[in-house]
Amino acid sequence: MSGVAVPVAVPHPRPAALRWLRRYGLAALGGAIILAWVLAAALAPWILSYGPNTVDVANRLKPPSAMHWLGTDALGRDVLARVVYGARISLAVGMAVVLVGGLFGTLLGAVAAYARGWAEEALMRVTDLVFCFPPIILAMAIAAALGIGTVNTVIAMLVVWWPKFARLARSLVLTQRSLEYVEAAQSVGFGPAHILVRQIIPNAVGPLIVLVTLDLGQAILVFAGLSFLGLGVVPPTAEWGAMVAEGRELVQQWWVATFPGLAILSVVMGFNFVGDGIRDWLDPHARTR
């Protein structure tokens, strides 16, 4: 945090670089964190000396050492290897949920807002309905009905995920369509589809990108939570939430639960930093100040 606080002490004629750093430093840091995780996940087999599922019960619950940098878990597996491989699942699930849910929700919301009338009304009531579900019950019911597994958990998450995009997209489209250039396009004689795709969506994309970025972190968090409750991945797949659950009882062997938790924290923070950065950048007030 000192890196954030230091610039305050600097006398007022601030160099441009420093100002940029103050405004976008965290976003850059977030981007770097995510890039690092993506690289680590992609290169995992080449940068690690252990596999994520190599069981060695004779060396179980060993504290961090030169051999195992982050120690070993209850089955003697290398925690570092599992944390790094865990990034693959978390990033993939985050992407899948947000992209699929976001695309579906956005399209539905945009179309509904454009069509108005009963379609819009119906959509809004459905989103209301989804919002008033206890998410845990829904996720558990779906896991129990379909069986525990990554894909089924993603399905459960998608069910509750799309409505917020639908709502955002709807309100964006509603705002946009009352704007002058849309009216202008209508008067020139462009069809509704053309206006929606060529005029409205590109202009509404900024807020959506912010939501998507922030949501990636959120999706990773929720997935880890479901995994923690035993509804996520099937063992022996390395996944952060499940790893924290495995280490929950091991207060003395703190490394088992601590490191996967830090991994979640760092990734989610990374996405939040980036999302905030984009928002600041898009926000006209923030730019003019």
Partner 1 sequence: MADQDEPGFGRRPLMAGAAGMLTSLLAGARPADAQSSARRGALVIGLDISDALSLDPVRVYQYSNPLPTRAAYDGLVTYDAGDNITVKPALATEWSYLPDGKTIRFKLRPGVKFASGATVTAEDVRFSFARHLAIKDQPFQYISHVESVAVVDATTVDLVLKDPTLPVISIIATPAFGIQEKSQVVANGGTDAADAKDKDKATEWLNNNSAGAGPYRLTGWQRNQQIQMVRNPHYWRGAPGYERVLIRHMSESAAQLLAIQRGDIDVAFNLIPEQIATLENDPNISIMGTPSLDFIYMAVAEAPSNPALQNKLARQAIGHAIDFDGIIKNLAGGAAVRPTSFLPVGTNGSTEALTKEIGFNEDLPKARRLLAEAGLPNGFKFQLAYGNAAIAGVTYQNLAQKIQADLARVGIVAELAPMDQVNLRTMFLGGKAEAVLTFWNPPAPENWLWTSATVNRVARRVVWDVPADMHKLVADAGAERDLAKAAVLYREYQKRMVDFAHHIVLVQPVYQVAVRKSVGGLNLTAAGWMADLAAAKPA
Partner 2 sequence: MIRYVISRLATAVVMVLLATLVIFLIANTVPGDPAMAALGDMQASDPVQVREFRARWGLDLPLWEQYWLFLKRLAQGDLGISISSRRPVLADIIDYAPATLELATIAFLLSLAVGLPLGVVAAVKRDSWVDHLARFVALIGVSAPTFWLAFIMLAIFYGQLDWAPGPGRLDPIAFPPDRITGLLLIDTALAGDWETFRDAAAHLVLPSIVLAASTLGLITRTTRAAMLEALNQDYVRVARAKGLLARVVVTGHAVPNAMLPVVTLGGLAYANLLTGAVMTETVFGWPGLGRYTFRSAVTVDFPAIMAITAIVAAIFVLVNLLVDLSYALLDPRVARA
The interface partner of residue 108, options being partner 2, partner 1, none and the CB cut-off 5 to 8 Å by kind, is none
**What's the DSSP call for residue 178?**
T
- Residue 49, sorted as left (phi over 0), alpha (psi -120 to 50) or beta, turns out to be alpha
Nearer to partner 1 among residue 82 and residue 167 (C-beta): 82
The correct pick among 2, 178, 252, 288 for binding partner 1 (CB under 8 A) is: 252
Our finding on whether 146 is near partner 1 (CB under 8 A) is no
The correct pick among 58, 66, 132, 188 for binding partner 1 (CB under 8 A) is: 58
Task: Record the tokens describing residue 111, joined without a space.
Answer: 């179309």
The correct pick among 253, 259, 273, 274 for binding partner 1 (CB under 8 A) is: 253
Instruction: Give me the 244-283 binding string for partner 2, x by CB under 8 A, dash otherwise.
Output: xx-xx--x--x--xx-xx--xx--xx--xx--x-------
At 73, phi and psi to the nearest 5? -95, -170
How far out from the chain centre does Cα 36 lie? 16
The interface partner of residue 81, options being partner 2, partner 1, none and the CB cut-off 5 to 8 Å by kind, is none
> Please, is 212 exposed, middle or buried when counting C-beta atoms within 10 Å of its C-beta (0-12, 13-18, 19+)?
buried
Supply the minimum distance, in Å, between the C-beta of residue 145 and partner 2: 5
Our finding on whether 132 is near partner 2 (CB under 8 A) is yes
The interface partner of residue 246, options being partner 1, partner 2, none and the CB cut-off 5 to 8 Å by kind, is partner 1
Beta bridge partners, 229, equal none
The correct pick among 25, 135, 192, 236 for binding partner 1 (CB under 8 A) is: 236
Cβ neighbours of 239 (radius 10 Å): 28
62 Cβ contact partners less than 8 Å away, ≥ 6 residues apart? 68, 71, 72, 76
**Rg (the chain; Cα; Å):** 23
Nearer to partner 1 among residue 143 and residue 182 (C-beta): 143
